[in-house]
Amino acid sequence: MCACVCVKASIVGYRTGKVLSYGVRNKFCQICALARKRRRTPKRHACFKDFEGASTKMETEIILEGFQASEKMHKVRYLEVVADRDASVHNTLVTQAPYGPWELVRKIDCKNHLFRNFRSWLIDLSKNTKLPLPDSVDRQDQRTVKATKQELLTLRAPVRDNVLKMSVAISKASTHRGKEAVAQSQEAARLLADPSTSSTVGQPAPSTTNVAHPASATPPAGPSTSSAHAGTSPEENWVKRLEKAGVWKEIMSFLNKMADRSCSLIHNVNNNICEIANSVTTKFIAGKRIFYSGRDSFNTRCGTAALAMNTSGQFRRVIQKHMQDGESPGTFTSQHNTLKVSKLTGARKRRALFMESRQPPKRRRTAAGPDEDYGLDAQGPEDEDDPQPLPEVEDVAVLEAKIRAHMDAIDKSRERIEEIMKIAQNSWEGGPPRSPCARTSVDKHYRRRA
């Protein structure tokens, strides 16, 4: 994504599933590039290069443009956005404020991306072979240090084996709290209290899971004490060993991050519809295996993909009627459209039948790494590790007083700088000070040899 010369982003309605707005940014123009290579002035043409800067900022600029044009296009305001944490889109929407400073856009984190990040943190923790020693360990006692390091390596296995169970525990807790007939703020508050107060979720169910201790809820079974009772012995509790080794503190920090997103978890929403729109676009641009960004081909294909998304595959009929002043397509075009729709419907039905038994193929994944505009390090309006709520809008008089105080401080700083410059000029009336050995040093190092 970071090395792309063209990017397409779209805004899709959560309830309608239709593309409300889309945009394309291109950093390349074939005619300009060819003229630059030949060291000539490009001929007069419609240049399709419309972006300068990092490729990771393209998506943010497109989404901001869609929000700014929402009232003009659809007579609505997008006050809530379901998005992931892979880009600094929300930070830009908050700072730019397309609907004014009094009506900020609220972000709801995609549940799938939250759990993906949570599982990634736990997997990275289980792979870490250089975990720090706990503070209670005496560094001078080499025997204790060696035993603690061995214990840290041993505890990686239960963490790795319980990644999915901890994720399911949080998911079930959010689902249970979301079904309660109380205000949404109370639901989020109760879910926020779950990981820290050891409250169990889903009391009527016999197989409830303790959210505060997911590693101890269903850890890997320990060895049985006798062959007669093999498999029926109580499961080993790893929490005490994890706490003693200092690993439990790391796990709780991950749980606290998820608890801070309780407001988003209560909504139980995702942005899968946007991923579907991207997959439709990929079919039209051949997965970027063919370079369509030289001229207008990439823009046209992205527009056709958005039209296909909104018409459920009937884009050929819509284009035909638009180009022929409302005249319906002919017999062969209608038969072709009907055949395409029937094939699509049949494929969806077959996919639904075998969805449970189908295993996705393994693919090689490559990534250029995150930055401030895209990835896990994308800048947001609040810190990822210690999120704070956005500040409430203050009174206008209070804001004006703060602005005046800030301007007064700037004026005083400017006066102080001018005063220092005057003192320096008075002390350097005879010119800047010179070292008495300056000329000697120059003659010594740069004199010509006879």
Instruction: Write out pLDDT tens, residues 237-264.
Output: 788 888 888 888 888 888 888 888 888 8
Q: How many CB atoms lie within 10 A of CB 92?
A: 22
- The amino acid at residue 42 is P
Residue 400 has a pLDDT of 74
Whether the CB-CB separation of 382 and 390 falls below 8 Å is answered with: yes
Strands 19-26 and 6-12: antiparallel
Whether the CB-CB separation of 167 and 258 falls below 8 Å is answered with: no
**Long-range contacts of residues 283-291, Cβ cutoff 8 Å, at least 24 apart:** 284/308, 288/4
Residue 198 has a pLDDT of 38
Report d(CA 240, CA 133) in Å as an integer.
16
Residue among 15, 76, 60, 8 at smallest CA distance from 269 = 15
Residue 193 has a pLDDT of 64
Residue 213 has a pLDDT of 40
CA angle 333/339/341 to nearest 5° reads 105
Domain ranges of the chain: 6-109+271-329, 112-222+235-267, 394-424
Residue 339 has a pLDDT of 85
Residue 202 has a pLDDT of 31
Place of tokens 């988003």: 264
The stretches in the chain having pLDDT less than 70 are 1-3, 86-87, 181-236, 355-396, 399, 424-450
Report d(CA 403, CA 419) in Å as an integer.
25
- 247's CB contacts (< 8 A; 6+ apart) are 125, 131, 152, 155, 159
Report d(CA 148, CA 161) in Å as an integer.
21
- The amino acid at residue 400 is E
**Dihedrals phi, psi of 264, to nearest 5 degrees:** -75, -35
